[in-house]
Amino acid sequence: MSRDAVPPPVRLGDYLPPDWLIDTVHLDVRLHPTASRIIARLAMRPNPEGREGSPIVLDGDELSLKSLTLDGVPLAGTAYVVTPTALTLLAPPQRALTLEIETVVNPSANTKLMGLYRSSGTYCTQCEAEGFRRITYFPDRPDVLAVYTTRIEAEREEAPVLLGNGNPVESGAVEGTSRHYAVWHDPWPKPCYLFALVGGRLDRITEDFVTATGKKVALGIYVEPGKTERAGYAMDALKRSMRWDEEVFGCEYDLDVFNIVAVADFNMGAMENKGLNIFNDKYVLASPQTATDADYANIEAIIAHEYFHNWTGNRITCRDWFQLCLKEGLTVFRDQEFSADARSRPVKRISDVRLLKGHQFPEDAGPLAHPVRPDSYREINNFYTATVYEKGAEVVRMLKTLLGDEGFRAGMDLYLDRHDGDAATVEDFLACFADANGVDLTQFALWYAQSGTPQVTVSGCWDEAGRSYTLDVVQTLAPTPGQSEKLPMVIPLAIGLVGPDGADMPLTPDDGSNAERGVLLVTQPRQSFVFRDIAQRPVPSLNRGFSAPVKLTTDMSTADLLFLARHDSDPFNRFDATQTIALSHLVQATAAARAGAALPAPDALVAALGATLEDGTLDPAFVAQALSIPSETDVAREIGEDVDPDAIHHARTTLRQAVSGALAPALAAIYARHAPAGIYSPDAASAGRRALRNTCLDLLAAGGTEESLARAQAHFEGADNMTDCFFALSVLAHAAPQAREAALAAFHERFREDPLVVDKWLALQAQIAEPQALERVRGLTQHPAFAWSNPNRVRALIGSFAGLNPTQFHRIDGAGHDLVADAVIDIDGRNPQLAARLLAAFKSWRSLEPVRRASAEAALRRVAEKPGLSPDASDIVGRSLG
């Protein structure tokens, strides 16, 4: 292979079982800041299902090999080969044997934050997907399951807390030294990506949890010294998650202890290591003064998510990384359901769908599109995507819609029982639902294989004389990278026919299909559904609850949409009806803006928003969602090509101004009526009231009147919690340039010691839709609070600029693209995963108008040409450029 040859991609079709199995792993880890020593004792045997007579090939990355023995005997130098990526025993005896491997790594120099590294002095690990190979030589693949025993040793001063997977076995002093040790044993066989250890000076909170069958579990949450008061909400969320999983899925916890450690430097949100979850501290630490309602909701969801992996991911893991959605899509579905039960189900669904449309739909429509189960990859780290996660969760949700609550639970029960202890596949998963329900899921499985968002076009026709109603449904799926031909999908379309009185009509389908539950089964390219005994013209409510992740097009009139906005019994479609009207106006207004014209805000839309605002029967959190005008990204996605972000911004700002003007009295009244009552509580109902009040504040300020800005200033100064304080600061920063600097300075002064709050301050400034944003972001990279080495800081500043400030990221002079490309090039040398994730912000570059498209392409090419670009970044850049 030539010097810069790219290794070939990994293909699903090439899967082979491992040649060697590992029954037990004994790790002896001696922590040291620059030279941590790991002795791994592996009890191995040939896999009867592997290839006979195989060498032992162990993965490795940036390891220094110190010694190697086989059954206690040092191996001759000719018996093995070490390369930068592997240790190969050329001709091992074909029987059970024990390898002992000694490696040394430098955790302080580990800036990739994969393997063993340090965060504020704490030793910690991150092994998913392929980080264990940075600790010791090992078959680093999820289908090699072993029982681990880990002895961790460190200076007592430096690391008084020593944590591992499983249950604590023993601990004590290392005689005659200043060191101590702890031994942990995990009885459940696991893949090495679930391995973890922690050593550090940490404070903790503890509680006991008693499982459904009466077993006591000691729960611990470990945080940086002095931060224990901020861990209480996470502990509460953990206990509620544990109970919920017992009640809803019959899943009980299976160890004596469950620990969570919060660290400040972490590439992802959190990690489900067996019995020892490691979290980005952003998703653990919360207090009313430092966390917003959204932060509390995220903490609850992510604590739940990682905990739920204990069954869906850990007890049943993935055979290979192509099956990632098997654990991630399913576990996202589970955490969504948990949050829906803990909070408002409709509001949770609305925000999940917004996330899906905002992140996954653009991914599916661009050069990075891939199936929920990809069939090839160059860098697995780049496949922890919205498609695998969010669309993966939608696919599980569709199974539930198709099979009903009981059929779904039967399938899950079978899966948890049949595959406990396995490294499973998507086929295994689907077979459980098929077997438990006696159904054929062959066509349904296309959801895992075909990328792209299906287009579903529906038109309805009422036959007055025949008293029938017909829905004609057409589905199409456009070609995506690597997939030119597509097959029709199974689309569970939940629907209702809403009568003139606003009530759902009984559904009497002609064909006896399962429309009783209100779900049409669309399986053909074109299909018609006829309903009988329809005496009055109904308004169809389609894809209720967003039952299928498709792009729906209808010929519905604005009047019918307004009718749904007021009367639909399905809250999602009630919300969506107004959004559809607003979006179609914004698309037209954007076209007008590009032609130098302006479109007035449609009266019907303003009236609908006003009616929602004044409907006292609605949940405030729902009203807050329903009042929000579709985002600039929503509009760009709807336009799809030749996108001009400035024109979109102009159209949206104009609409918000008009709504503000027209609804000012009502907005002010609702604002006043939702003034805080009593002390801050993060519960959903209180958060909903704040969300509505803050939405009113924001819409009022969009009018730009003196009065509305004074109100925002007062809101900022009077806030007794971070939700209100930060929301008011955002309003001032976006809408009140004259008040902006003072407010930002006051906020910084007050919270400068708190990195997680400083992140909010950085992120907000990066999002200001003004040309000065670029210089501001550049300047902030020099601010003492900023650090290129910390992923949270980088995502707050650079990630927010690239992902949430479309007009400035896509500046017509290309300076925004250049700023992000420069940052990526710089970060890539230190932390390739972080660089690759930032780079993915270019994913919709092809849909830009020609000038911006050219500058995005030039920026991507510049990244591509950087000598020594990481595989992570070069994979993204390569696929982006197509």
For tokens 């001709």, what's the residue? 91
- Of the two residues 329 and 806, which places its CB atom closer to Zn ion in the complex? 329
Going from the C-alpha of 311 to that of each of 149, 249, 618, 627, the distances in angstroms are 21, 10, 37, 39
- Of the two residues 277 and 331, which places its CB atom closer to Zn ion in the complex? 331
User: Which of ligand BES, Zn ion, none sits in contact with 302, Cβ below 5 to 8 A by type?
Assistant: ligand BES
By CB under 6 A, is residue 270 in contact with ligand BES? yes
By CB under 6 A, is residue 384 in contact with ligand BES? yes
**Rounded distance, CA 123 to CA 297, Å?**
28
Stretch that binds ligand BES, among 71-79, 89-97, 266-274, 495-503 (CB under 6 A): 266-274
Q: How many residues bind ligand BES (CB under 6 A)?
A: 16
Contacts of 748 (CB under 8 A, 6+ apart): 758, 761
The encoded tokens of residue 240 equal 């509620």
| Residue of the chain from 130, 306, 379, 724 that contacts ligand BES (CB under 6 A) | 306
By CB under 6 A, is residue 269 in contact with ligand BES? yes
**Rounded distance, CA 546 to CA 577, Å?**
12
652 alpha-carbon distance from chain centroid:
27
Question: Rg of the chain over CA atoms, in angstroms?
Answer: 28
Burial annotation 436-450 (CB, 10 A radius, 16+ → b, else e): bbeeebeebbbbbeb
Find the shortest distance in angstroms from Cβ 833 to ligand BES: 8
Contacts of 2 (CB under 8 A, 6+ apart): none
> Starting from the edge strand earliest in sequence, which strands make up the sheet with 161-164, in order?
115-119, 122-126, 197-200, 161-164
| Residue of the chain from 135, 231, 302, 840 that contacts ligand BES (CB under 6 A) | 302
Stretch that binds ligand BES, among 305-313, 346-354, 454-462, 662-670 (CB under 6 A): 305-313
Find the shortest distance in angstroms from Cβ 268 to ligand BES: 3
Going from the C-alpha of 173 to that of each of 216, 275, 654, the distances in angstroms are 28, 24, 69
Of 168, 158, 231, the residue nearest 201 (C-alpha): 158
Find the shortest distance in angstroms from Cβ 306 to ligand BES: 5
| Residue of the chain from 129, 534, 583, 802 that contacts ligand BES (CB under 6 A) | 129
By CB under 6 A, is residue 128 in contact with ligand BES? yes
Of 350, 551, 552, the residue nearest 460 (C-alpha): 552
- Of the two residues 331 and 578, which places its CB atom closer to Zn ion in the complex? 331
- Of the two residues 133 and 305, which places its CB atom closer to Zn ion in the complex? 305
| Residues across the chain | 882
By CB under 6 A, is residue 190 in contact with ligand BES? no
Of 264, 265, 266, 246, the residue nearest 254 (C-alpha): 246
**Rounded distance, CA 361 to CA 357, Å?**
5
- Name the 3-class secondary structure at 710: helix
Binding mask 317-356 for ligand BES (x = CB under 6 A): -----------x---x------------------------
Query: What are the strands, taking DSSP E only, across 84-223?
Result: 86-89, 97-105, 115-119, 122-126, 146-155, 161-164, 167-173, 179-190, 197-200, 203-210, 216-223
User: Which of Zn ion, ligand BES, none sits in contact with 499, Cβ below 5 to 8 A by type?
Assistant: none
Minimal CB distance residue for Zn ion: 328
- Of the two residues 319 and 715, which places its CB atom closer to ligand BES in the complex? 319
Q: Which amino acid is at 331?
A: T
**Rounded distance, CA 423 to CA 402, Å?**
26
Question: End-to-end distance of the chain based on CA atoms, in angstroms?
Answer: 23
- Of the two residues 170 and 341, which places its CB atom closer to ligand BES in the complex? 341
By CB under 6 A, is residue 140 in contact with ligand BES? no
Minimal CB distance residue for ligand BES: 269
User: Which of ligand BES, Zn ion, none sits in contact with 568, Cβ below 5 to 8 A by type?
Assistant: none
Find the shortest distance in angstroms from Cβ 195 to ligand BES: 13
**Rounded distance, CA 257 to CA 234, Å?**
16
Of 194, 283, 213, 220, the residue nearest 253 (C-alpha): 213
| Residue of the chain from 26, 32, 282, 305 that contacts ligand BES (CB under 6 A) | 305
Find the shortest distance in angstroms from Cβ 305 to ligand BES: 4
- Of the two residues 137 and 193, which places its CB atom closer to Zn ion in the complex? 193
The verdict on whether 516 is a catalytic residue reads no
By CB under 6 A, is residue 308 in contact with ligand BES? no
Contacts of 750 (CB under 8 A, 6+ apart): none
Question: Residue 766, CB half-sphere, CA atoms under 13 Å: how many?
Answer: 27
Of 13, 103, 121, 26, the residue nearest 62 (C-alpha): 103
Of 673, 674, 558, the residue nearest 608 (C-alpha): 558
For tokens 């604005």, what's the residue? 558
DSSP string, 413-430: HHHHHHTTT-EE-HHHHH
| Residue of the chain from 271, 561, 577, 735 that contacts ligand BES (CB under 6 A) | 271
- Of the two residues 191 and 488, which places its CB atom closer to ligand BES in the complex? 191
Looking at residue 694, the DSSP 8-state letter turns out to be H
Catalytic residue among 153, 224, 306, 638: 306
User: Which of ligand BES, Zn ion, none sits in contact with 330, Cβ below 5 to 8 A by type?
Assistant: none
- Of the two residues 269 and 404, which places its CB atom closer to ligand BES in the complex? 269
**Rounded distance, CA 495 to CA 488, Å?**
20
User: Which of Zn ion, ligand BES, none sits in contact with 268, Cβ below 5 to 8 A by type?
Assistant: ligand BES
Of 337, 336, 339, 315, the residue nearest 326 (C-alpha): 315
By CB under 6 A, is residue 272 in contact with ligand BES? yes
Stretch that binds ligand BES, among 158-166, 297-305, 678-686, 783-791 (CB under 6 A): 297-305
Binding mask 310-349 for Zn ion (x = CB under 5 A): ------------------x--x------------------
Find the shortest distance in angstroms from Cβ 795 to Zn ion: 18
By CB under 6 A, is residue 785 in contact with ligand BES? no
Stretch that binds ligand BES, among 27-35, 268-276, 774-782, 810-818 (CB under 6 A): 268-276
Stretch that binds ligand BES, among 300-308, 487-495, 786-794, 850-858 (CB under 6 A): 300-308
Stretch that binds ligand BES, among 262-270, 419-427, 447-455, 753-761 (CB under 6 A): 262-270
**Residue 733: Cβ within 10 Å count:** 21
The encoded tokens of residue 499 equal 């009568």
**Rounded distance, CA 119 to CA 281, Å?**
11
**Across the chain, how many H-helices and E-strands are there?**
28, 32
Say if residues 747 and 761 touch (Cβ distance below 8 Å): yes
Find the shortest distance in angstroms from Cβ 137 to Zn ion: 27
- Of the two residues 231 and 332, which places its CB atom closer to ligand BES in the complex? 332
- Of the two residues 280 and 437, which places its CB atom closer to Zn ion in the complex? 280
Stretch that binds ligand BES, among 51-59, 263-271, 527-535, 759-767 (CB under 6 A): 263-271
User: Which of ligand BES, Zn ion, none sits in contact with 269, Cβ below 5 to 8 A by type?
Assistant: ligand BES
- Of the two residues 193 and 447, which places its CB atom closer to Zn ion in the complex? 193
User: Which of Zn ion, ligand BES, none sits in contact with 589, Cβ below 5 to 8 A by type?
Assistant: none
Residues that bind Zn ion (CB under 5 A): 328, 331
Active site (catalytic) residues: 306
Residues that bind ligand BES (CB under 6 A): 128-129, 268-272, 301-302, 305-306, 309, 328, 332, 384, 389
